[in-house]
Amino acid sequence: MSQTISPGKNFVAGGFGGVCLVFAGHPLDTIKVRIQTQPKPVPGQIPQYAGTFDCFKKTLAKEGMKGLYKGMAAPIIGVTPMFAVCFFGFGLGKKLQQKTPDEILKYHQLFAAGMLSGVFTTAIMAPGERIKCLLQIQAASGEVKYAGPMDCVKQLYRESGIKGIYKGTALTLMRDVPASGMYFMTYEWLKRILTPAGKSPNELSVPSILFAGGMAGIFNWAVAIPPDVLKSRFQTAPEGKYPNGFRDVLRELLREEGVGSLYKGFTAVMLRAFPANAACFLGFELAMKFLNWAAPNL
């Protein structure tokens, strides 16, 4: 029997999934941002980090385990509502396209529902990402400008108003709308493939959920990395460095470092994407089971 889609339950379960995702994925997110934003070495000088594992080793040696969880308060505060809104948007996108409550949607409809969730999340995501990136790179550079997330918001607001907090929104949209479509479509596709004959996708085993969730994360990031690199650069750049927005960032990156630079941090992203999203979807499915048991008619 297929469960009627409830955007409200999706909201609550998505929030729980988001918390699971941050705990599993934040250390590699810190490494990803540090690699993406490290200064270009002058000729003859070796780069600050040789790669993902080098950055991991240096961060652990210099700052301990705590260094890997730097700036985690902002994503926990931002990610919980963001994933709640993300899964709500997906639930709503599916519900709007269903002609009957038990209609099974086609893959392009699931992609469209996922894209809607990307639009929903950008409103929360853009400022959260900007603050997170600024806090992560100040920890790496050793120059302390912001005391914490709230101080960062206050200073940005003082310097350039609400626009300063939302810097990089267009890039966040460019990253999250197609990537979210890919994310949810891949998850639903794998769930259907992994479901044994005669069973419902709601009865999937834990390893199958972990695999489908992890792969959804990988497909999501395969689409999202180039705009993510541009966004990290743009959001952490000094005011006025890129007057034409992301076009300037793209031109500079391609001119100085070539096409490969758009896939900077690829290893860190992919290493993080699987466990973080596996944890997220498992958290979501378990919370959903609990909610369906506790409030079957909602």
- Read off the pLDDT of residues 53-88 as tens digits, 9 standing for 90 and up: 898 899 889 988 888 888 888 778 877 888 999 999
- Read off the pLDDT of residues 216-251 as tens digits, 9 standing for 90 and up: 999 999 999 988 888 888 877 877 788 887 789 889
Per-residue pLDDT, 2: 53
Across 173-193, average pLDDT: 95
Q: Is the pLDDT of residue 258 over 80?
A: yes
Least confident span in 9-23, 97-111, 220-234: 220-234
Per-residue pLDDT, 296: 85
> How many other C-beta atoms can be found within 10 angstroms of the C-beta atom of residue 244?
9
Q: How many CA atoms lie within 13 A of 161 on its CB side?
A: 1
Percent of the chain residues past pLDDT 70, beyond the cut: 99
Position 201 confidence tier, pLDDT thresholds 50, 70, 90: confident
Per-residue pLDDT, 238: 79
DSSP 262: G
Position 1 confidence tier, pLDDT thresholds 50, 70, 90: very low
Q: Is the pLDDT of residue 120 over 70?
A: yes
DSSP 45: S
Per-residue pLDDT, 297: 78
Average pLDDT, the chain: 88
Backbone angles phi, psi at 4, to 5 degrees: -60, 140
Q: Which of 75, 165, 87 lies closest to 126, judged by CA?
A: 165
Per-residue pLDDT, 199: 87
DSSP 50: S
Per-residue pLDDT, 281: 97
Q: Is the pLDDT of residue 114 over 50?
A: yes
Tokens of 32: 């990803």
- Read off the pLDDT of residues 264-292 as tens digits, 9 standing for 90 and up: 878 878 888 999 999 999 999 999 999 99
Across 39-45, average pLDDT: 82
Length of the chain: 298
Separation of CA 163 from chain center? 22
Per-residue pLDDT, 3: 60
pTM of the model: 0.77
Q: Is the pLDDT of residue 104 over 60?
A: yes
Least confident span in 8-12, 86-90, 199-203, 292-296: 199-203
